[in-house]
Chain A
Amino acid sequence: MMLECRELTKWFGTKEAVAGLTLNLDKGKIYGLLGENGSGKTTWMKMVAGLTKPGRGEILYEGHPIGWRDKASIAYMATEPFFYDFMKVSDVGEYYEAFFDDFDRKKYEKTTKAMGLEPDMKVRNLSSGMSAKLKLAATLARKAELYLLDEPLNGIDYKAREEIISLILEEADGENTFVISTHLLEEVESFIEYAIFIKDGHLADKVNLESERMKSGRSLTELYTDIL
């Protein structure tokens, strides 16, 4: 088991954002993290990424309690834009290189170029699709073991979504692990191996999609409706 979360709980004031979440992830798989807005998906990702501490419960990474050292193995992409407006595409590369030892600058430059992002383009002037690609290119240029992508397909047009999915599938090599949160079920249905359904801060179900299609013939949308 790569990641084990036991009875994770997180309060924000009087609101229980994550409520006794127990969830295990295996190496080399692509997971879809699904649930309504406010069900605790982002809070869970932030806890695993080490950006916020659980109130109760524990997270084990490769068998040991997760700590600051593991941050080097985990790449988290927030859903909100996180680059400064005044930055250029090339500055983002420099910024990431300074922050992360595992950042591959050459790969970043190659990927951004392939997606039509020129080094001297300003972050401020990018369309939402371009800015989503920039975020992903920077995140995937890290050589991490676990990638946590919060809503990478949100708010962008069809063509940009397809490009983003291709980029993810080029990087998912069966050794590294991906967790992708999304509401766009049809977009991810063919390549998600396990769907993780989160409801009110806890695990409602974890389903192997290919087995489910063989067993019951239920699509992801049907599962979502049945489970949540």
Chain B
Amino acid sequence: MEYNTGAPIYLQVINELKKKMVKGELKPGEKMPSSRDLAVEYKVNQNTAARIYREMEMQGWCFTRRGIGTFVSEEENMFRDLKKEMASELLKNFMHEMSGLGYKKDDIIDQIAEYKEDGENDA
């Protein structure tokens, strides 16, 4: 994965894992990689890998069974909340940037309504 070299690595990996949960690439109750596999996959050291799981457990996104491994939370609600939370975070940043350019909320809503995604016909 490509890192932003000026931001803590553990937070960037957590964010990536959260996205995987929201997208369903990591399903409720599924076993997460061992901390060694996590270290190799994300190019982090063992201390960072342990920290990632510790933080995620504290947030209730995963849990550890001693001697067996770390698992994704089984709470379906948690996934819904996580998705909402990540969306509102993105929206907050977007609104902040747009108002920085001088746009008001109504202008932004108009812009979104008119917005065409790549591939949509311009004609």
Contact = CB atoms under 8 A, between A and B. Distances in A.
User: Are both chains from one complex?
Assistant: yes
A165 B47 CA distance: 16
Interface in B20-49: 36, 39-40, 42-48
Interface string A162-181: 00011001101110000000
Contact of B43 (A28, A169, A219, A220): A169
B39 A219 contact: no
B9 A213 contact: yes
Given A169-B43, A172-B39, A210-B10, A221 B5 contact: yes
Interface residues of A, number: 25
Nearest to B10: A210
A169 B39 contact: yes
Nearest to B49: A174
Contacts of A192: 45
B47 A169 contact: no
Interface residues of B, number: 18
Contacts of A221: 5
Nearest to B36: A170
Candidate in B8, B45, B46 with the most chain A CB atoms within 10 angstroms: B45
A172 B46 contact: yes
A190 B44 contact: yes
B3 interface: yes
Interface in A48-70: none
The 5 closest A-B pairs by CB, nearest first: A174-B46, A219-B5, A217-B6, A190-B43, A191-B45
Interface of B: 3, 5-10, 36, 39-40, 42-48, 50
